[in-house]
Structure 1
Amino acid sequence: MRVHPLWAMPVLALTSTACVTVNIYFPAAAAEKVADRIVQEVYKAGAVNKNSQPGQPKPAEPAPGQVPPQSALPHVELLAQALLTSAFSAISGSAEAVEANLDIESPAIRKLRQSLEARATQLQPLLASGALGLSNDGLVVVRDATKLPLAQRAQANALVQAENADRRQLYQAIATANGHPEWAGDIQRTFAASWIKNAQSGWWVQSPDGAWKQK
C-alpha cells in the first residue's frame, strides 16, 4: 500500500473534487478596499490642490496578493504550493473563484480617476459650504442652491453633472474590467458608502432613508 506524504494530502483532495463548480459572487471585501483607495485619493487630490501644494508621488504599494520570496519558503512547501496551483488550474472552466483584488488599472479607469481628482478642487468648497451634498447612491447633488450666488449656480450644476457622469462610468468600468459588468450596481453601492465614510467633517451626507445630516 502506497503512503502519501502529508503535504500531498491537500493536492489529492483538490484533484479528487476538480469537477466541483465554485459559485461566482460579488467580492464585497475587495470592492470596499478599492472604493476606499480611490475615494481617499480623490479627496486628497482636492485638498492638496486647494492648498496650492505641489503634488507628491504616491507611496509605493505592495502588489496585490504579494507573497514572501520563494527563497524564504522551505523546499517542501514550495513543491506543495506549485502542486496546489496546478490542482486549481485543473478545475473545469465553469468554476471560478472571484474573491480577490479587483483590477482598477485599465486605461478607462485611470482616465476617470484622473478626471475625478482634477475636479475635486472645485467640488470640495461647494461641499464644505453645504450647497452640495453626497447622496446615498454614490453621487453628488445640489442640496441647497440658496447657498450659492445666482451667478455660480449654473457652474455648480455643470460640475455636478460632469462629476456624476464620471462616477457612473467609473462604477461600470470597474465592473467591466473585472469581467462582470453586472456588478456595476454593487460597486456603486460600495462606493456610495465610501464617499460618505471618508467625507470631511461638516459635509452634508444622505442617510439610507433619504434624510440629510451634517457629518
Structure 2
Amino acid sequence: MKDHCTVTQVEVATNPDNLSMAVVDFEAGGCSSVTFSPDTGAVIRERKVREAPRKVEGAYIQPLPTVTTGRPFHGLMGLYLCKDRLAFFRRCEVPVEGGGSTSGTAGGRFFPPLRGRPEPDQTEMGPWETTGFVSDLDWAEGRRLTPCLAFRDEGAYRVRIVRIGATPPIDVQSASQSGSKIREQDWRTSWSGFDWEVGSTEHAAPTST
C-alpha cells in the first residue's frame, strides 16, 4: 500500500439531501473512518470506542470552503490514496445566468442566487478543488481499506463511479505545499476534536489533536 496510488471518482447527478465519501477499515476488523463532505468542505475522522451505549471519538478539519449554491452538492468528487496519504477532491456543478456567464463562481468559491430569485435552469462545472493531503493511515487497522458513500436521508439519489485510476484530476501535491490553506505538516496540528454518545444532547468541546 505504501507505494501504490489510486483514485476513485464518482459523479453526483441527483442529490435530494446530503451525501459524503468515506474510507473505512471495517472489513479489516477496525472501527474507524475518514469522511469528506463535499457540501461543507470538511474532513471528519471518527473511531467507535464503545458499542453500548455507543460512543465515538472524532476530529475534523476544514480544508475547503462551504459550497453555497443554494442546493445540495451536485458534480464530481473523489478520493486519492497515495503512499499512505489521503486526499479528497471535488468539482461543483454551479448555476449559470445570462446565457452562459459563470456568475456562480469566484476564485473557487461559490455563491447562491439572490434571495427570492429561482435557481437558474442552466448549470456548468466549476473548477477542481482539493483538500490536499490531510491524513496518513495511522488511524486504520489491518491492511484493507474500503471506499464508500454515506447518505444522510432516504431519497432519489443518482450517483455512479466514473473513474478508477492512478492520477488525480488536480495536482494534490502542490495543494499541500507551503502557502496553501492545508499543508502536509498540519496533519497533526490543525484537527479539532469532538466526542459524542448516543443519547447525549451536546458534543464535548472541540480540542486540538
Q: Which has the higher strand share?
A: 2
Larger Rg: 1
TM-score by length of 2: 0.30
